[in-house]
């Protein structure tokens, strides 16, 4: 990998930019950020993933995006996820582990749980998360919502669906019909033709990964690389055609989540070709290391030594392959990776560990809001690598590597300095109830 510019100088320069970004202009409203900022040019993208399953155990509802102030600081919400069936079509239903129409558009919400403060009725065709997202868009007219297809667990059938011109056409047509035209399957009074029409402003492709291994049951082939290009082209063609057919012409956005590893980029992506059809890509800016490994390490550092993954490495690898800087949106984690049984002393990083750290929902993975409590408890010490831009917690036996407001602010200054497209967050339910992380990014990004 290419050697980074000197770390100390780079972080120092970014820190100066961060201070400037946080300082309000003379006479400005200190609470005014993002789209309401005083500087010129279009706003940077702020893309947040809302998880379908977060409404259950985490009890993170669409309304929380409004009450926390998060929705006002976002440009896009990516709804995660839509699935692709074995016969290569977008689908929904109520099949455990495969689809959840109940969460999507069937589940009724009472007045207290609704964005607009009005309870759902038994007769309305759209309820659940979809209806709440529609209400959220009505309250925040500049906000766009995209359906994100695939993800780690639901990329299983992408390779099969993308193999031929006919299969690609069928897949895209089914996704456009289900999500863009909003023709949902009926479930009692819910669903029906056009039930979700106008909700989604585009499609996000989260195929993990074309041409290389992903989840254990995800099919991949060498020809995925060319087939992904053709699939992107088919999505662009059908979305544009439908947008032109609307009474008031509409541009439907098309985006993708893309990897950090150079080997995965080269195996699956014809970068200059796909970037012509994609509005932007969300770069994997996390999971560089994690609890599946036996040695503790950073999971999302801005910079790293040669041979290691980092945000800067990821950005530069995509730039070198022909991606325009303005179409690169940097992924930022609202969670941490953790290990326990750490030995060897020191600050805990780069040390052997016995396994994933115990956590609330999945061992080795913890929301920022929980890690903040650990940091504030005094039991853990907060460590920072000021040269490379990352942070971690260590209590003598357990390490959590994560991004806090300082790290995210520094990354946002980097986005500005590199002329990149903005920031993406996985996932919104990991933030604090008052939106501490999204606020840090929003203030640091400002406008172009």
What is the per-residue pLDDT across 56-70, written as a single tens digit (0 to 9) for each? 999 999 999 999 999
Strands 365-367 and 355-356 come out as unpaired
Is residue 103 in some structural domain? yes
Is residue 321 in some structural domain? yes
User: To the nearest whole number, what is the mean pLDDT of the chain?
Assistant: 92
Contact 379, 373 (CB under 8 A): no
Q: Which two tokens stand for residue 102?
A: 């109940």
Range(s) of the domain holding residue 208: 7-19+33-334+404-445
pLDDT band at residue 376, thresholds of 50, 70 and 90?
very high
d(CA 83, CA 78): 14
Contact 91, 174 (CB under 8 A): yes
d(CA 386, CA 407): 9
Please report, for the domain that includes residue 168, its CATH number: 3.20.20.80
Is residue 373 in some structural domain? no
Nearest CA to 136 among 64, 228, 37, 184?
64
Kindly list the catalytic residues. Answer: 208
Beta strands in 75-140 (DSSP E): 76-84, 90-91, 94-95, 99-100
Total number of domains in the chain:
1
Instruction: Calculate the alpha carbon distances from 345 to 325, 350, 393, 440 in Å.
Output: 41, 10, 13, 32
Give the model's pLDDT for residue 448: 76
d(CA 320, CA 3): 14
Is residue 425 in some structural domain? yes
d(CA 444, CA 76): 18
Residue 24 has pLDDT above 50, yes or no: no
pLDDT band at residue 209, thresholds of 50, 70 and 90?
very high
Which tens digit of pLDDT belongs to each residue from 422-443?
999 999 999 999 999 999 999 9
Which tens digit of pLDDT belongs to each residue from 251-280?
999 999 999 999 999 999 999 999 999 999
Is residue 162 in some structural domain? yes
Is residue 242 in some structural domain? yes
Strands 76-84 and 144-151 come out as parallel
Is residue 423 in some structural domain? yes
Is residue 339 in some structural domain? no
Residue 2 has pLDDT above 60, yes or no: no
The C-alpha angle 15, 416, 333, rounded to 5 degrees, equals 80
């Amino acid at each position: 990998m290419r050697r980074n510019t000197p770390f100390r100088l780079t972080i120092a320069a970014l820190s100066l930019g961060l201070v400037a970004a946080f300082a309000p202009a003379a006479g400005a409203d200190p609470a005014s950020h993002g789209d309401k900022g005083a500087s010129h040019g279009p706003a940077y993208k702020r893309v947040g993933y809302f998880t379908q399953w977060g409404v259950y155990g985490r009890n993170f509802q669409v309304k929380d995006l409004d009450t926390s102030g998060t929705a006002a600081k976002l440009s896009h919400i990516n709804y995660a996820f839509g699935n692709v069936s074995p016969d290569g079509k977008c689908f929904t239903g109520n099949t455990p582990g495969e689809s959840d129409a109940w969460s999507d558009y069937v589940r009724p919400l009472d007045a207290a749980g609704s964005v607009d403060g009005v309870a759902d009725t038994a007769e309305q065709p759209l309820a659940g998360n979809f209806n709440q997202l529609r209400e959220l868009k009505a309250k925040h007219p500049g906000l766009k919502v995209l359906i994100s297809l695939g993800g780690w667990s639901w990329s299983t059938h992408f390779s099969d669906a993308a193999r031929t011109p006919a299969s690609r056409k069928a897949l895209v047509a089914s996704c456009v019909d289900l999500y863009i035209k909003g023709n949902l399957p009926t479930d009692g009074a819910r669903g029906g033709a056009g039930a979700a029409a106008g909700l989604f402003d585009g499609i996000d492709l989260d195929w993990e990964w074309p041409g290389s291994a992903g989840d254990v049951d995800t099919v991949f082939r060498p020809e995925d690389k060319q087939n992904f290009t053709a699939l992107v082209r088919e999505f662009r063609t059908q979305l544009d055609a439908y947008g032109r057919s609307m009474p008031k012409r509409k541009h439907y956005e098309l985006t993708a989540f893309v990897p950090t590893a150079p080997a995965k980029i080269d195996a699956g992506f014809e970068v200059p070709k796909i970037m012509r059809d994609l509005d932007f890509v969300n770069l994997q800016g996390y999971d560089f290391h994690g609890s599946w490994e036996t040695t503790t390490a950073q999971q999302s550092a801005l910079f790293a030594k040669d041979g290691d993954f980092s945000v800067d490495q990821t950005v530069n690898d995509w730039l070198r392959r022909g991606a325009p800087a303005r179409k690169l949106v940097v992924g930022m984690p609202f969670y941490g990776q953790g290990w326990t049984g750490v030995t060897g002393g020191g600050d805990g990083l780069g040390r052997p560990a016995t396994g994933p750290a115990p956590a609330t929902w999945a061992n080795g993975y913890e929301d920022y809001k929980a890690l903040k409590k650990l940091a504030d408890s005094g039991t853990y010490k907060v460590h920072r690598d000021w040269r490379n831009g990352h942070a971690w917690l260590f209590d003598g036996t357990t390490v959590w590597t994560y991004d806090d407001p300082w790290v995210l602010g520094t990354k946002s200054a980097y986005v500005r300095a590199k002329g990149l497209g903005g920031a993406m967050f996985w996932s919104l339910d990991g933030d604090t109830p008052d939106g501490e992380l999204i606020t840090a990014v929003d203030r640091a990004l400002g406008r172009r």
